[in-house]
Homo-oligomer: A and B are copies of this chain.
């Protein structure tokens, strides 16, 4: 039996599946972050850890990992230099590295055309139209990733400091946030100066729940954020696009809030990006004759 390896890697975690030549998944595993742009060596290590564990989960722990044809969908690999950097640390003899657009689209939409918006720690748009894949956004939270948890959290901390300075009104949410830093804005500012996207993003679910409770600052942040998300969707979607999948940790929270014209085409994802990676792996390795 020919085994294949499929990987879905991103900044939060790395997931691997071992499948047979027909795409039936025999084993799965998860490991730590695979951030190819900031840490290609660490990303490669986590890819190998997840792959080895998936192989064990499939009951083939004694197989030679490096001999499996590997298909990797990795966030950040659209940057060619990042993809090559991680490749140099990987043991696989046959290894296809793509970015996360194809695997996300395949998992969400199967072979159909449509759009995916990932709304998690970061945000990014993927589209497939007449079979061609394209993307928008996803430039990182410093100057992009509108709608992401990192941006929402950063906005909340900014509003908290503006409330402290009496530039804006405080709210139960800003008061609670400041209290977590001993009501000392300097401590909050120090945190923010060193915070990574995930540090900011952990505040995002609270903004949604505070908005549900009528918190004025939370509502204001979400109003502004939704305008940005809808502007991105408006620019990205094409007239005949009939399927929009929202993915990522904030997807569900957004689904009830985005404008009706977008909600009308929202579809639940068929499956996830790891299964998408398995499907693409089967297609790829059949085409190249490595499995039949």
Asked if A235 and B136 sit within 8 Å, CB to CB, the answer is: no
The stretch that binds B, out of A22-30, A41-49, A185-193, is A185-193
Contact B140 A193 (CB under 8 A): yes
Nearest to A234 among chain B residues (CB) is B167
A190 with B79, Cβ < 8 A, contacts A143-B154, A144-B158, A161-B139 known: yes
Contact B235 A186 (CB under 8 A): no
A176 CB–B CB distance under 8 Å: no
CB distance B195 to A142 under 8 Å? yes
CB neighbors of B among A162-176 (8 A): 165-168
Mark contacts of A140-161 with chain B using CB atoms, 8 A cut-off: 1 yes-contact digit, 0 otherwise.
Answer: 1011100000000010011001
Would you give the shortest CB distance from A80 to chain B, in whole angstroms?
A: 9
Residues of B contacting A232 with CB < 8 Å?
165, 167
Contact partner, A144, options B139, B143, B168, B189, Cβ 8 Å: B189
When distances are taken between beta carbons in the complex, the residues of chain B under 8 Å from A236 are 165
Contact of A165 among B136, B140, B168 (CB under 8 A): B136
| In contact, A165 and B195 (Cβ under 8 angstroms) | no
- Decide: A192 and B139 in contact? CB cutoff 8 A: yes
- What are the interface flags for A106-146 relative to B under an 8 Å C-beta threshold, 1 for contact and 0 otherwise? 00000000000000000000000000000011011011100
- The residue on B at minimum CB distance from A139 is B189
Instruction: Mark contacts of A204-234 with chain B using CB atoms, 8 A cut-off: 1 yes-contact digit, 0 otherwise.
Output: 0000000000000000000000000001101
**Contact in complex: B192, A142 (CB < 8 Å):** yes
Q: Residue A143 contacts which of B136, B167, B168, B192 (CB distance < 8 angstroms)?
A: B192
Given contacts A79-B186, A79-B190, A190-B79, contact A165 B143 (CB under 8 A): no
Given contacts A139-B189, A144-B161, contact A231 B154 (CB under 8 A): no
Q: Is A13 an interface residue (CB 8 A)?
A: no
A232–B166 Cα gap in the complex (Å)? 8
**Nearest CB in chain B to that of A231: its residue:** B167
Residues of A that sit less than 8 Å from B by CB: 37, 78-79, 136-137, 139-140, 142-144, 154, 157-158, 161, 165-168, 185-186, 188-190, 192-193, 195, 231-232, 234-236
- List 7 A-B pairs, Cβ < 8 Å: A79-B186, A136-B167, A142-B154, A142-B195, A143-B192, A144-B192, A167-B231
